[in-house]
Structure 1
């Protein structure tokens, strides 16, 4: 198979698997989404993680569903993303994973909307309230009502499948799992709460995040402060 054939096959497979999920009955009107934009917001420089024993963090790490009803600070968000990604290996060293964040409770300098994370900054994708579209994308919409930020791990199939066989589709999910584990550990180390989410409709999430055809949403992670 050529690289293009591998990429097209994996995108088709991912879409076929997505169609096995019964979508939410909530309406998803793509035309009502805030317009796509491209604005950059500077994030605070990351700071060192608190000094805690790794065994303690590992034993304490778990999914939590009881965040405080407050926004997440930009410093906290910057630290979680930086420390989780900087220590997250990928097969062949290919940076195939990106993280997009949906902010539902604003905190200076991030207003509500969709952002793509880059080191030390966030690129706005859509600015405005997308909570209804987010609820309609999740199989458990209650996450939207209690967590101030939802992170989406997105795998780009194009770069790795130009190098590797189609089997690498499995490895992309392994890489995403390593990153999610990092999110859990960093969140725990910082005294925050989080929960991995696998139940969502990929096609709706892709529209919400304005993803390219080869960019596949593979996991989500709800993030907040402890209640």
Structure 2
């Protein structure tokens, strides 16, 4: 694990030469909430019926977002439809495993989604961990407060900090994958994240929500924002919002 973290850090040095938090993003992070704080249940919202060919043809990356807040029902439909549980299978040892809509190597829960919400709206501004595998899918608060100043410093495209209503963050998990696979599985985690990202694009398109994948960000700052342990790291971001007015 330590060697993989060292490799990951070397591969993801910032453009300023790897200086720790060169833009001061961590200076403006919202505060952490106390442990055990109750979360927000995700509404039981599903994706609207849509023809796959139509959705594929309509899929676009968009930097234009509307001024109205992103409804929680739309966010719930996006997360459930793209990253939620598809089915539960029985294991040879008699146990069971929930398999996600987005496939992953070995069916393992290799990704942990988070939502960075700017507010105002149904969801309070801050950082929320998404628990989709619980009996009742929930958004668990990690930090509460306006994340816009942080996003403006941590993103290579700071204009997104003011435009996007929310950012879905896909976090890669070494703790659930390395006990089963060798260190080369580090690469597969990025493949899993890419598959999940594709699902987010398609679900957003079906919902009529503009979104765009973001890879230009300060890795160490986002890991700190999400309060990640050493065995997890930020893999990719997906900025989205309400539809832009015509």
Any conservation in 2 of the 1:193–1:225 contact (CA below 8 Å)?
yes
Deviation at 1:107, TM superposition (A): 1.6
> Structure 1 stretches of 5 or more lacking a match?
1-6
Which range is displaced more, 62-71 or 41-50? 41-50
Equivalent residue number for residue 71 of structure 2:
73
Q: Distance in 1 between the 2:65 and 2:208 partners?
A: 11
Q: Would you say 1:16 and 2:13 are equivalent positions? A: no
Any conservation in 2 of the 1:37–1:124 contact (CA below 8 Å)?
no
Q: Which has the higher helix share?
A: 1
Q: Would you say 1:117 and 2:130 are equivalent positions? A: yes
TM-score (normalised: structure 1): 0.91
Q: Out of 34, 46, 68, which is 2:31 matched to?
A: 34
Q: Out of 31, 52, 55, which is 1:54 matched to?
A: 52
Q: Distance in 2 between the 1:31 and 1:57 partners?
A: 38
**Equivalent pairs, count:** 220
Any conservation in 1 of the 2:28–2:150 contact (CA below 8 Å)?
no
Any conservation in 2 of the 1:134–1:205 contact (CA below 8 Å)?
no
> Which segments of structure 1 move beyond 6 Å, counting only runs of 4 or more?
none
> Structure 2 stretches of 5 or more lacking a match?
85-100
TM-score (normalised: structure 2): 0.84
Report SS of the residue matched to 1:163.
coil
Any conservation in 2 of the 1:27–1:136 contact (CA below 8 Å)?
yes
Residues 39-97 of structure 1: CA deviation (Å, up to 9, x unaligned): 23333433332112110101111101111012111111111011111310110111010
Report SS of the residue matched to 2:176.
helix
Q: Structure with the greater relative contact order (CA < 8 A, sep ≥ 6): 1 or 2?
A: 1
| 16 and 36 in structure 1: CA distance in 2 versus 1, 3 angstrom threshold | farther
Task: Tell me the C-alpha RMSD between the 2 structures.
Answer: 1.7
Equivalent residue number for residue 4 of structure 1:
none
